[in-house]
Amino acid sequence: MAILPILEFPDPRLRTKAALVDAAEVTTAAFQELIDNMFHTMYDAPGIGLAASQVDVHKRFMVIDVSEEKDTPRVFINPEITAHDGGQVYQEGCLSVPGIFADVTRANQITVRYLDRQGVAQELTTDGVLAVCIQHEMDHLDGKLFIDYLSPLKREMVRKKLAKARKHVA
């Protein structure tokens, strides 16, 4: 398995809207290997979710594992939220915006339709961290970042902070 490079804000490729995954592609060896590599990358980062867009693959799927033991991997292909309820503020971070955390209002409960790793249609109603993570990763598939929920001034402060951090690493 390979660790894939994760795009970081303000990389313009993060703004690309992902295309639907063709159902015939889901069970191919190449797609399954990509899923494995995305899980490996996410666990290594470490994170609880990773959208394909974050690794410069602009297809509508994501991998998620919100379990403490990291033993409940989930794949959501062509996800679509069909219902949502309530709203609550959650503090979010992102592998594409390292070291930055901010409060974002998300639905408390969602119902999502998707294809699983085997290409089988599924529907899931969930809440809590999993619901937040699904919404966060789906934003990536639409070219949106959690910092887009911040004011323009705060977003610019984040951009400058990340640029400064990159200079110290280089």
* Confidence at residue 22, expressed as pLDDT on a 0 to 100 scale: 97
Residue tagged active-site, from 8, 25, 68, 137? 137
Where the chain has pLDDT below 70, the residues are 169-170
Q: Which amino acid is at 46?
A: P
**What pTM does this model have?**
0.94
* Confidence at residue 155, expressed as pLDDT on a 0 to 100 scale: 87
* Confidence at residue 110, expressed as pLDDT on a 0 to 100 scale: 98
Question: CA neighbours within 13 Å on the CB side: how many for 70?
Answer: 11
Q: Which amino acid is at 36?
A: D
Q: Is residue 137 among the annotated active site residues?
A: yes
* Confidence at residue 7, expressed as pLDDT on a 0 to 100 scale: 98
* Confidence at residue 118, expressed as pLDDT on a 0 to 100 scale: 97
Q: In b/e form, how buried is each residue of 148-167, taking b as 16+ CB within 10 angstroms?
A: ebbeeeebeebeeebeeeee
* Confidence at residue 117, expressed as pLDDT on a 0 to 100 scale: 98
